[in-house]
Chains A and B, each alone.
Chain A
Amino acid sequence: MSQSAGHALTLRSISHAFGAVVAANGIDLDIRPGELVSLLGPSGCGKTTLLKIIAGFLRQTSGDVLVDGASISHLPTHQRRIGIVFQNYALFPHMSVAQNIAYGPVAAGWPKAEVAAVVTEMLDVVQMAAFRDRLPRELSGGQQQRVALARCLAIRPRILLLDEPFSALDKNLRLDMQIEIKRLQRQSGITTVMVTHDQEEALGMSDRIAVLSRGNLEQFASPSDIYDRPDSLFVNTFVGTANLLKGEIAGLSPSGAVVRLADGSLIETGRATQLVPGARVLVPVRPEGLRVSADGADGALAADVTAVMPIGPSFIYEVALADGTPVKVVQERDETAPLSGPVFLHIKPNRISGLFADLPDDTQKKGN
C-alpha cells in the first residue's frame, strides 16, 4: 500500500454557502502527508460540507482544494482518487463483499488478475477473508465497516475520508474499531481526514484537530493543545468540560494577570493577556485542575458541596461558590475530603487554560 502513502491536502480559503446559510467561511487547512486530522464541531458547523467539498460531491462557492500542491477543484468526484467511508458504510446491497471491494478496480478497468489480487489483499488487511461471498446485510456493523474501508483502500486513494465512522457502532465495538483504523492508517501512512462530533474520538485518534463552529475554523492544533491551550471560549467549552469562573482583572504582571473573583479572592492566571485592568473576564478551569478539601489554605475558594458522584476510582463533585456559580471537580477518591457542607476549592498550579473576555452575548471572542 506504499503508493497511497503520503499525499498532502490543502484547503485554501474554502467558502461555501447554501443560499443565505454560510456553511464554510474562508477555511484554510494544511494537512501534512500521512497525517490523521479530525474535523470536530457540533452539527451545522460545516464539517460535513468540507468533507463533501474535498470528495467533490459539492462544489465550493470559492477557494481551492489541492493535493500535493496541485488543484483538484475542477475534477469530478470519480477522477479525484479520494476514498471515503460513509457514516452508514453505503455498501452496495446487491453485491457480495468481494464484489464490493472489486467495484473501484473494475470500474477503472484493471485487468482481472490485478482485481482479484487486490481483493484478496484487502480482505486480508481488514481480516475479512472468510466473509468474501457474504452479502452486506449478512454482516455485523463492525464487519460492514471493515468492508467499507477495504473497498475504499482498494482504489489506492491519495486521501482517505471518514464520515462519522463510529457513530453507527455500539460502544464496546467502537473502541476496537478506533484502534483498528488507527493501526491501519499508521501502517499505510495514508493521509486521512475524519469528520466527527465526538470529542473523545477526535482527541484519541487524531494527530491534529480542526475545531469548527458555524463555518469558521476556531483552532487547528494537536489534541493536547486543543485541550490544554484552547484558543477560544468555544473550543474550551466544546472540548472537554470547562468551569468558567467570573471575575475582573485586578492587575497585570509580566507573566500573566491577577483576577479578582466574584467573592473577592484573587487568583493568578499565569497567562499573558491583552485585556486591561478592570475588564470582566471568565477564567476557565478543567474539573481535574481543581481539588476539594476540608482545609482552607492560602488562595482557596470557599464553596458548598451540592452533590457527589463516586464513579469507581474517582469522585465527581459539584460545588457552589459563594456567588452560586456551580463548579465541577474530578479528583481521586480521598477519604479526608468532606462529602457535604462547606469545603475549600484549590486551583492546582498551571491549570488555568486561558482567559476570556466576558461579553454580554454569545459572540465570545478570543481573549489572548
Chain B
Amino acid sequence: MAGAASSPSRDWALAVPLAVLFALFFIAPLGLLVSISFQTERQMTGALGLGQYAAFLTDDLNLAVLRDTLLVGVKATILCLLFGYPLAWLCTRVSARWQAALIFLIVLPIVTSVVVRTFAWIVILGRRGILNEAILALGLSAQPLRLLFSETGVVIVLAQVQMPLMVLPLITAIQRIDPNLESASQALGAGAWRTFFKVTLPLSLPGIIAGTILTYTACVTAFVTQSLIGGSRLLYMPMMIFQQAMDLQNWPFAAAVSVIFMASVLLIVALLIALSRSRAARPYG
C-alpha cells in the first residue's frame, strides 16, 4: 500500500500498453475464433448456427480423438507425478550445493528446445533405436518393440519432456513443510512410510495440484511431441486442428474443434483449482 496513494491514476497507465496489445492480438483473435466456429458453411457465407459443433460431437471418430488426447495427458501426468515426486523429495533432502546442481539439471530440459528433445527420443525409441537394441541384446524380446508411433511412446516422451513442470512446484511445496512435523511424526513412533503418507504427502498437496495443472495442460497441447512420436497413425486434437485449418482449409470446423478443445482443457484446470481450494480450506483433511 505504501507509495501507492500518491498517484494511483498514473500507475494504471503502465499496464495500458500490454493490455492494448493483448486486447488486439489475444482477446480479439480468440473472439474471432469463437465467432467463426458458429459459421455453418465452410465457405463462411455468414449463416450462423451450431452446425460445426454438431458435426464434431456426433462423429465417434472425432470424440475418440478428444478422449485419446485428454487421456494421454492423464497418463503422462500420472507418470510425471509418480517419478517426479521422489526426485522433488530428494532435492529437498540434499545440501544446498547439490540442490542447486539438481535444479539446474531439472531446468535444463525446459530451456532446451522441444524439437531437440523429441528428436533424441526418436533415436532412442526407433525400431533400430537404443532401447530396442538393448532389449534384443538382453534377450527380453525376440522382436523389436513398437515404441515409436505408439501411445506408450507418446506417454513416455511427454512425461520426460514435461517432467520439470511437475518437479519444480513440488520442490517449492515440500520445502515449505516445517521439518519439525516430520521429526514429530517419527518421534511419535511412525515409520518413514507412515510419516510420508500421513504428513509429507498431504501437506505437499498444493504443489501436487500446481504441478498437475502445468504438466497436464502442457501434455495435451504438446503438438511437436505428439505428432513426431505419435506419427501419422495417432491423431490428437492439436494435429486435428492444424489439419483442418491448413490442409483442408476448413476454418469454421477447425475453429469449433479449437473451442471444444480449449473448453475441455479449461474445464479440467477449473476442476483442479476447485479441488485445491476445497483441500486448502482444510489442509489437514
Contacts and interface: CB of A to CB of B under 8 A. Distances in A.
Interface stretch (A54-62, A123-131, A331-339): A54-62
A76 interface: yes
A359 to B, nearest CB: 36
A222 interface: no
Contacts of A58: 5
B6 interface: yes
A224 B3 CA distance: 36
A57 B2 contact: yes
B58 interface: no
Interface in B17-71: none
A59 to B, nearest CB: 5
Interface string A241-273: 000000000000000000000000000000000
Contacts of B7: 76
A341 to B, nearest CB: 48
Nearest to B8: A59
Contacts of A76: 6-7
B133 to A, nearest CB: 55
Interface residues of A, number: 7
Contacts, number: 12
A52 interface: yes
Nearest to A76: B6
Nearest to A52: B2
Nearest to A48: B2
Interface residues of B, number: 5
Contacts of A56: 6
Nearest to B7: A76
Contacts of A57: 2-3, 5-6
Interface in B95-133: none
What does DSSP make chain B's interface, helix, strand, loop or mixed? loop
Nearest to B5: A58
A57 B7 CA distance: 10
Interface in A76-98: 76-77
Contacts of B6: 56-57, 59, 76-77
A185 B6 CA distance: 29
A51 to B, nearest CB: 11
A58 B5 CA distance: 5
Interface string A33-59: 000000000000000000010001111
A185 to B, nearest CB: 25
A77 B5 CA distance: 11
Interface string A13-25: 0000000000000
Interface in B246-282: none
Contacts of A59: 5-6
Contacts of A77: 6
Interface string B1-13: 0110111000000
A76 B8 CA distance: 12
Contacts of B3: 57
A74 to B, nearest CB: 12
Nearest to A78: B6
B2 to A, nearest CB: 6
A77 B3 CA distance: 9
Contacts of A52: 2
Nearest to A53: B5
A18 to B, nearest CB: 9
A163 to B, nearest CB: 11
A58 B7 CA distance: 10
A57 B2 CA distance: 6
Interface string B182-200: 0000000000000000000
A76 B3 CA distance: 11
Nearest to B3: A57
A56 B5 CA distance: 9
Q: Which has the most chain A C-beta neighbours within 10 Å: B3, B6, B7?
A: B6
A270 to B, nearest CB: 48
A65 to B, nearest CB: 14
A56 B2 CA distance: 10
B43 to A, nearest CB: 57
A50 to B, nearest CB: 14
Interface of B: 2-3, 5-7
Q: 10 smallest A-B Cβ distances: which pairs?
A: A58-B5, A59-B5, A76-B6, A57-B2, A57-B3, A77-B6, A57-B5, A56-B6, A57-B6, A52-B2
Given A57-B5, A59-B5, A77-B6, 9 more contacts: A52-B2, A56-B6, A57-B2, A57-B3, A57-B6, A58-B5, A59-B6, A76-B6, A76-B7
12 contacts: A52-B2, A56-B6, A57-B2, A57-B3, A57-B5, A57-B6, A58-B5, A59-B5, A59-B6, A76-B6, A76-B7, A77-B6
Interface of A: 52, 56-59, 76-77
